[in-house]
């Protein structure tokens, strides 16, 4: 069973969300503040975090950034903020999806299932692929990525994006194609979301994100992955 951590300072909301998730076969943990949430993340097996942005001891953004420095667990943010800029900011610090309050608990369960399904799909045919004499290594069997021998902490969406590119080197992907592959055909956000994920991924795997050698922008068309890899 997958375990979902619900982080919100509203007891009623946690109760309702937990109830719906349990009906669909999930285990749940509940935290009313950031300190307890980070404790659970560090000491329990958590498969996804439902994270409110407004908490009494620290902001959801701060918690998200703290989690991302150590863990790749998917994060679904809850917020009353509705602007595209707010959503882009959340994605830029590592959130995998956004839901705006008030929301349908049934839709939240569907979003959780979708995120978990996406995060589990990122597999290559080869167990490992290396690029540039081992500078970049994708260990598909362990869902790990190494740059110059150092483990890089990617979010589930970033890993899925990298795997999608690596499966089809030199193929040009439009932003709409990447949205469907990474975020799902029913995703309602704009293409800037993909641009932000690409930007985040470049910062983690490229020597110079402003002059990338792996994930290259193709003007007016989208992105492609370059650099021949060796399979193991």
pLDDT tens string 107-157: 999 999 988 887 665 444 456 778 888 899 988 778 899 999 999 999 888
Confidence bin at 4 (pLDDT 50/70/90): very high
Over residues 82-109, the pLDDT tens digits come to 667 766 776 777 788 888 889 999 999 9
What's the pLDDT score for residue 66? 86
pLDDT of residue 225: 92
Q: Are strands 128-131 and 136-139 parallel, antiparallel or unpaired?
A: antiparallel
- Name, in order, each residue with C-beta under 8 angstroms of 169's C-beta and a sequence gap of 6 or more: 224, 225, 226, 227, 228, 229
Per-residue model confidence (pLDDT) at position 61: 87
Q: Torsions phi, psi of 105, nearest 5? A: -60, -35
Residue 232's Cβ-side half-sphere holds a number of Cα atoms within 13 Å equal to 11
What is the per-residue pLDDT for 216? Answer: 95
CA-to-CA dists, residue 22 to 12, 25, 26, 116, angstroms: 15, 5, 5, 15
pLDDT of 39 higher than 50 = yes
Kindly tell me the sign of the dihedral angle through the C-alpha atoms of 95, 162, 46, 103. Answer: positive
Q: What is the pLDDT of residues 155-211, one digit of tens each?
A: 888 998 998 888 778 889 999 889 888 887 667 667 788 999 999 999 999 999 999
Phi-psi region of 184 (alpha: psi -120 to 50; beta: other; left: phi over 0): left
DSSP 183: I
pLDDT at 124: 43
What predicted TM-score, i.e. pTM, was given to this entire model? 0.60
Are 23 and 137 in contact, with CB atoms under 8 Å apart?
Answer: no
> Looking up tokens 């994100």, which residue turns up?
209
Residues 41/50, Cβ–Cβ less than 8 Å? no
Residue 173's Cβ-side half-sphere holds a number of Cα atoms within 13 Å equal to 27
């Amino acid at each position: 069973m997958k375990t979902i951590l619900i982080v919100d300072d509203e007891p009623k909301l946690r109760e309702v969300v937990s109830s719906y998730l349990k009906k669909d076969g999930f285990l749940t943990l509940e935290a009313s503040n950031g300190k307890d949430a980070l404790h659970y993340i560090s000491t329990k097996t958590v498969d996804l975090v439902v994270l409110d942005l407004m908490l009494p001891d620290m902001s959801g953004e701060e918690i998200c950034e703290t989690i991302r420095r150590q863990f790749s667990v998917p994060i679904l943010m809850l917020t009353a903020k509705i602007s595209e800029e707010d959503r882009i900011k959340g994605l830029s610090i590592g959130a995998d999806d956004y839901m705006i309050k008030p929301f349908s608990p049934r839709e939240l369960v569907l979003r959780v299932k979708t995120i978990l399904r996406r995060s589990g799909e990122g597999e290559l045919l080869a167990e490992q692929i290396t690029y540039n004499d081992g500078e970049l290594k994708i260990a598909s069997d362990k869902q790990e990525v190494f740059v110059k021998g150092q483990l890089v902490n990617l979010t589930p969406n970033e890993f899925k994006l990298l795997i999608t590119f690596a499966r089809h080197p030199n193929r040009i992907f439009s932003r709409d194609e990447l949205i469907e592959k990474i975020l799902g055909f029913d995703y309602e956000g704009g293409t800037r979301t993909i641009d932000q994920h690409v930007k985040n991924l470049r910062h983690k795997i490229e020597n110079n994100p402003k002059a990338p050698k792996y994930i290259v922008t193709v003007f007016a068309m989208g992105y492609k992955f370059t650099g021949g890899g060796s399979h193991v």
